[in-house]
Structure 1
Amino acid sequence: MNAPPNAPGELRRRLGVSDAVVIGLGSMLGAGIFAALAPAARAAGSALLPALAVAAVVAYCNATASARLAARYPASGGTYVYGRERLGAFWGYLAGWGFVVGKTASCAAMALTVGAYAWPGQAHAVAVAAVVALTALNYTGVQKAAWLTRAIVAAVLAVLAAVVTACLTSGTADAGRLVPGGGDATPAGVLQAAGLLFFAFAGYARIATLGEEVRDPARTIPRAIPIALGLALVVYAAVAAAVLGVLGPERLAETTAPLAEAVRAAGVPQLAPVVRVGAAVAALGSLLALILGVSRTTLAMARDGHLPRALAAVHPRFHVPHRAELAVGAVVAVAAATADLRGAIGFSSFGVLTYYAIANAAAWTLTREEGRPARALPATGLIGCAALACTLPPASAATGAAVLAAGAIVYALRRGRRTP
């Protein structure tokens, strides 16, 4: 079900498999390594690696569901479109609402990560400046964003390889720290950590939400999503094992810059400034891809009238949803000026887990002829998303549930006004 390449009012298809994989990787790496490891270690203790495995299993199920659905419905909006087409207008709306609100929090978290590493004393000001600069870049076309993301991913992978090498070759690394034990790990803690780490895996959704800008989406998207997810998992596992082996769960849980702390503990303090630069660059890459994804879902919801229809405009020259991008950039800039980094991660995870729960439910309804995955995968994904959402920190779960409820009320009121 491929849309015409340049139909009126639609975005231009410019991204190939490698572009899509890079955008997914760029979105995941900044979030996972530099923002989620420490709070996850605080929840899981010495069972950090099992928590990472749980998050990866749920992410794989979600990725499979998203890939099959994206090949079937290659339009901007991701699960907003899939929920609407397979489950009904309300479920599509709820998925879109959860994604836009949750990922706006993610954008603020990534912008603040840039500020915290680049200039800790002026973190909020740097965060706002980063949002403004990347919004301006996205405005000029998705291909430029893909090129910049490619450079960012290459630089970040080089930094992470240096961290892993420094940690694993140092005399301070202890493989015993990777084995759960000592009574500090509980099932509830592992699930909570998995929910926080899921924040790090959700970047592959950007590939699906850019479905209207991907060439040959029925072939490209199902290939790009699992490749990006698999590469991210390999990187996460290597870095988490290296840092945990050097710092141990207690020290890792307490630090605000775990990779910089790890290289200092490994006896290579001169690498710490490089890690700080790498962290800022990685967060920039994640922020770039996040703004792309949120603006495309905003575009899809505006087309259907769930958001102001003016946001559905496509720029005649750059072929991007320019009004949606400017609106998202403005909201993220305000959030980055006022938000708290750690609170944003849990809140974002709740919204995104809701989004993927709906994606799995939509994938369950596919027929065999439509490319339905094995039923066990969307069932596991749906149950896993619900379980992880329920075990997030209570404040994050309560706030997320309240925001979803507010969105449902707005939907009901709008439907009521339309009914004669």
Structure 2
Amino acid sequence: MLTLAIERPDAEAQRLAALHEYQLLDAPADDELSAVVRVAAMVADVPTATLNLIDENRQCQLTTVGFEGGDSERSDSMCAIGFRSGRVVHLPDARQDPAYARTPWVDGRIANVRFYASAPLISPAGYALGTLCVFDDVSKTLSPRQIHRLEDLAEIVVGLFERRRQARISADLALETEGQRQALELAHAELRLAVRELERSNDELEGFAAAVSHDLVRPLASASGYLEMFAHVYGDGLDERAGAWMSGAGRALERMQQLVRSLLDYARAGHAPYRAVTVDLGEVITQVRADLRDHVDSTGATIAVGRQLPTVEGDPVLLRQLLQNLIDNAIKYRHPDRSPVVEVTCVTDPDGCVVAVADNGLGIPADQRDRVFDMFAQVDPESRRGHGIGLSTCLRIAERHGGRIAVGESDSGGTVVRLHLPGVTCP
């Protein structure tokens, strides 16, 4: 989690300098930012949302959903009250909070806001730039998961701010190389075109995720490639600050690529054609071992098969994706005090067979096991090890094979995931 800059008397001047460095005020919002605000409204299940930047004397609504935005006095702003705390503000009924009850947005002079929630936009340097805000004219309460998703979207917004700033810096540095500049502009044009095409065809988060995944893979890969070429050609000439910016841009692109890949896997698991053939799960494990060889070698992990695995009727691509997700998770969430050991076993039950993937890792608390298959569910969001999509994908694949999947505690205190496949007998 980012650390906020100390709120000294001069910190506001530094905060404003950080805000102005992004060159976002009085500029039209990118299509990507508008898309994030729409997703925020869907996550909170409210009709209105806005992306607010807090300047010295005004609140600038960069992009809105459900109402026509604009500038207003900072003294009238709800978001200006608590955004520098660095914490989410969640008011089921703003009339009940003295700090907000007399603001024009609540008392009827501008609007009649009841429910209000905002996640601060914190720059990498720790300065609060504004908020991602959702609100309604009726009272309501967000769940902890909705609040976490709002925080995630606020981080995505800052990532998009950073990407825009890095693109501007890169263009300035590469002016002497016209071909490089045109390549960067082409990558950004492709990305903007992809997002515009996607926005027109999505009215729910799952559809949004699937389409974005398909159309963003290539532009993101292009942007990453151009960034690598720029670092290779100009890296030695960059000062320490510019080098840090380049590294930050690279990390942001990598995380976005990981998220896109996860969303695409999730979409394919639910909508790709199902082609049932005879599949040897033992051979699938061999393929998964090959795919994860680097991960296994770097962590010292051991993957053991307890007995011969069955041959089943199913889609080989989806089953490989399912088992690879489970084994990859077992290694990813390993215990810091021991090398990861993953054991794949099979037992027969009255209705079929149960393929179990057990590990000696961190484990999942009992009160979290019913929700880990929910989309974007994470046991420890602060760890930033994943996106909460992998187990949702596994659930989809299991259901498409007429099976079910569940999580428990392994004998070694880690996690065991049991995949039940009907009509199958273990050898």
Please give the TM-score of this superposition, normalised by the length of structure 1.
0.26
Greater strand content = 2
Q: Which one has a larger percent helix, Structure 1 or Structure 2?
A: 1
TM-score, length-normalised on structure 2? 0.26
Higher relative contact order (CA 8 A, sep 6+): 1
